[in-house]
Structure 1
Amino acid sequence: MHTEQAQRHFWLPVPNENLPGGVRHAFRGARWDGLASAETVCGEPVALAQPSELDWIYFPTCADCNSRLKGE
């Protein structure tokens, strides 16, 4: 059985440093608390920043984060 904390997650658009654009990754917790970096549900360490409205529209969902959350 999962704890409530393990089940909580939020999504955040993250710019990709190597390519134009970025990806919407999932993170553990209830919401972004302003940290400068974090580890995604798929295990990738990333830098975080306040996303723009266009980031939410144009950045695709991370398939690995989505799959892991569905598996839980």
Structure 2
Amino acid sequence: MRTEQAQRHFWLPVPNEKVPGGVRHAFPGPRWDGLPSADSVCGKHVALAQPSEVDWIYFPTCAECNSRLKSR
């Protein structure tokens, strides 16, 4: 049986030079704990930083993270 914590994920805007601005990726866990980098649900290892309110508005959701979480 999986614990509630193992099932939880959080989203965080991540800057990306390939996409104007960046992308919101999903990560395992209840919330970002300040780590400088992490592996997203879609398998990308990315640098993390405190996002601005504008990042939340303008960065699109990672389609792969969204698809993988929806299929679970």
The question of a shared fold, defined as TM-score above 0.5 by the shorter chain, is answered with yes
SS in 2 for 1:10: strand
What residue is the counterpart of 2:24 in the other structure?
24
SS in 1 for 2:23: strand
Query: After TM superposition, which residue ranges in structure 1, 4 or more long, deviate above 6 angstroms?
Result: none
What residue is the counterpart of 1:11 in the other structure?
11
SS in 1 for 2:41: coil
What residue is the counterpart of 1:68 in the other structure?
68
SS in 2 for 1:30: coil
- Unmatched 5+ stretches in structure 2: none
Percent of matched pairs sharing the same residue: 81
Provide the TM-score with structure 2 as the length reference. 0.91
Provide the TM-score with structure 1 as the length reference. 0.91
1:39 is aligned with what amino acid?
A: D
**Inter-partner Cα distance in structure 2 for 1:63 and 1:23:** 9
- Unmatched 5+ stretches in structure 1: none
